[in-house]
Amino acid sequence: MNKELIRLKVNGEVHEVAVPPHKLLLDVLREDLGLTGAKRGCDDSSCGCCAVLVDSVAILSCVAIASCYQDAEIVTVEGIAPPGTLDPVQEGYALAGGAQCGYCTPGFLICTKALLARHPHPTLEEIRVALSSNLCRCTGYMQIYESVQLAIERAQAREAAKPAPVGR
């Protein structure tokens, strides 16, 4: 099959890859870029395991044609915090039991990140609705809500600990 060269900006780095025109973003991330954090959990865009951020909005990379995202800022779970550090969202899921088997976790992290970006202080009901397109088979979701709430607390604490901007 003929391939075309596409340019993707993922986690702040630009990659050029030759792929068939119809290749899905999830497959390009996993197979061509070695970013296996986003997962395939279903055949029909119903589980949310493959979610990635495209310009801060969560999309399902299993139903996205990679070549359509050449001008976008794509962020996968590997890129939500600098290497060796954890984002408050990651800390929340790690500490409060939001990740059991961990397979759905990248998708939940991405969708939580997207939620908190547009809505830093969601109610429990807003969290529930925002995460309703992600399936988790392990937790019964209770510890996921606790993880999100812990993430919010941690983000606030980090914000409070930041030195005040100079010259204000």
Partner 1 sequence: MASHSHIGKPLPMTDAPGKVTGLGKYADDLTVTGMLYGKILHSVHPHARIRAIDTSKAEALPGVKAVATGKDAPNPYGILPIGHDERVFALDKARYIGDNVAAVAATSAEIAEAALDLIDVDYEPLPAWFDPLESMQATSNWIHEQKPGNVEKEYHHEFGNPEQAFAESAFIREERYYAGEVTHAAMEPHSTLAIWEPDGRLTVHSSTQVPYYLHRTIAEVCEMPMSQIRIIKPLVGGGFGGKSEVIPLEVAAPVLAKKARRPVKITYTREEVFYAHRGRPITIADLKVGLTREGKINAVAARVVQDGGAYCGYGPVTVLYSGALLGALYDIPNVRYDGYRVLTNKPACGAMRGHGTVNVRFAFESTLDQLAHDAGMDPVEIRRRNLLKAPCITVNGLRVTSYGLPECIEKAAERSGWAEKKGKLPYGRGVGIACSHYVSGAANPIIRSNMPHTTVNIKVDRDAAVTLFTGASEIGQGSDTIQAQIVAEVLGVKMERIKLVAADTDLTPVDLGSYSSRVTFMAGNACLEAAKNIRAQVFAAVAKKSGCDPAVLEARDDFIFSTRDPGLRMNFDEAAVAAIDFHGALVATGTYAPPEEARGGKHKGAGVGPSPSYSYSAQVVELSVDTETGQVRVHRIVAAHDCGKALNPLTVEGQIEGSVYMGLGQALQEEMIWNEGRLMNPSLLEYRTPTTLETPEIESIIVESNDPEGPFGAKEAGEGSLAATIPAVANAIYDAVGVRINSLPITPEKILAALREKEKQRGGKVARSNGGRR
Contact residues: partner 1, CB under 8 A: 1, 30-31, 35-44, 46-47, 49, 76-78, 81, 86, 90-91, 93-97, 99-106, 109, 128-129, 131-144
Give the C-alpha separation, 42 to 48, whole Å. Answer: 9
Strands of the sheet containing 13-19, edge to edge, are 13-19, 4-10, 73-75, 51-54, 57-60
Q: How far is the CB of 118 from partner 1 (least distance, A)?
A: 18
Question: Of the two residues 128 and 168, which places its CB atom closer to partner 1 in the complex?
Answer: 128
Q: How far is the CB of 52 from partner 1 (least distance, A)?
A: 10
Q: How far is the CB of 24 from partner 1 (least distance, A)?
A: 12
**CA angle, 64 then 39 then 96, to 5°:** 125
* Residues 118 and 57: beta-carbon distance below 8 Å: no
Q: How far is CA 102 from CA 61, 107, 126, 137, in A?
A: 18, 10, 23, 10
Phi, psi dihedrals of residue 73, rounded to the nearest 5°? -90, 110
* Residues 49 and 76: beta-carbon distance below 8 Å: no
Question: Of the two residues 66 and 136, which places its CB atom closer to partner 1 in the complex?
Answer: 136
Question: Of the two residues 71 and 139, which places its CB atom closer to partner 1 in the complex?
Answer: 139
Q: How far is the CB of 133 from partner 1 (least distance, A)?
A: 7
Q: How far is the CB of 7 from partner 1 (least distance, A)?
A: 22
